[in-house]
Amino acid sequence: MAGLGVLSLIAAACSPLGVLNGLAPKRLAARDIPYGPGPRRTLDVYTPDRRDARAPIVVFLYGGSWDSGAKAEYRFVGGALAAAGFVTVIPDYRLYPEVVFPAFLDDCAAAFAWAAAHGGEYGGSERIMLVGHSAGAYNAAMLALDSSYLARAGAAKPLAGTVGIAGPYDFLPVQTDELRAIFGQPPTPPATQPINHVDGRNAPMLLLAGASDTTVLPRNTLRLAARIRAAGGPVESRIYPGVDHKEIIGAMGVPFRFIAPTYRDVTGFLARTASERERAA
């Protein structure tokens, strides 16, 4: 039995996620900081090496179909963004079946408000942005396109920009019993869809997807980008050939950046957006 335990540990260490987190830059500055009551409302903070200048702040929202996920699984994202010069906040948020729509959005908004209020304590600036993958990209897009969430959370700084990676933005009618339970049944309200909140007044957005993604079809990215452009809002979109749902976020990590230019495109957009916002201030 002991031998099996050792083999399990080796297998875990050799998993793609284990490799990503094992090789991630070590930038974790604070862990399990409460931003609300309960064990699912805590966050981790990652910081750049240099603390002599105010760095843009990024709040990263992970995915997991709104029923799974943990911030500790995304050390590779926190480390990568911090190494690129961003104070990075990764919150946990409540999941189904504990909560349903829109409680997890309120949690993400509260985490953003915490970052806006306390990011300066870790070297953060006035420029704060959202990045999300999968269900986290949905959460980020909803906060970006429906200003009521951040307003209710009392965010002290405005949202400067948003990156959505492989997000579901236009997925009615919902196809599973669990999604109907999470978003309302039947029919699921149109207000649950980010695409229905587009008014052309959003902060700049970058939307990325993999052409081989069968978990969240890339048409979600294409439709949301087209709707924002039609409304006159600022948006960029890219579809990566031959890349699937997990690969596109895995490519944020050092060993898998050859798979897709996710890291380059995300950090480039964040740096450019933060700089433009600073000049406009």
Domain ranges of the chain: 25-280
Under the banding of pLDDT at 50, 70 and 90, the label for residue 50 is confident
Task: Please report, for the chain, how many H helices and E strands are present, in that order.
Answer: 10, 8
Q: How confident is the model at residue 7, as a pLDDT?
A: 35
Across 112-166, where does the E strand assignment appear? 124-133, 159-165
Is 58 strand, coil or helix?
Answer: strand
Please name which of 8, 7, 50, 6 lies closest in space to residue 27, comparing C-alpha atoms: 50
Under the banding of pLDDT at 50, 70 and 90, the label for residue 21 is confident
Average pLDDT, the chain: 92
pLDDT 10s digits, 87-122: 999 999 999 999 999 999 999 999 999 999 999 999
Q: How confident is the model at residue 280, as a pLDDT?
A: 66
CA dist., res. 112 & res. 58, Å (int): 9
Q: Higher model confidence: residue 185 or residue 30?
A: 30
Q: To which residue do tokens 């380059």 refer?
A: 264
pLDDT 10s digits, 118-140: 999 999 999 999 999 999 999 99
188: its two tokens: 């699921």
What's the pTM value of the predicted model, to 2 decimals?
0.93
User: What is the edge-to-edge ordering of all strands in the sheet holding 87-91?
Assistant: 28-34, 42-46, 87-91, 55-61, 124-133, 159-165, 205-210, 235-240
Under the banding of pLDDT at 50, 70 and 90, the label for residue 176 is very high
Task: Say whether pLDDT at 13 is over 60.
Answer: no
Q: How confident is the model at residue 185, as a pLDDT?
A: 80
Q: To which residue do tokens 């990568």 refer?
A: 80
The answer regarding whether domain 25-280 maps to CATH 3.40.50.1820 reads: yes
Q: How confident is the model at residue 10, as a pLDDT?
A: 38
pLDDT 10s digits, 245-257: 999 999 999 999 9
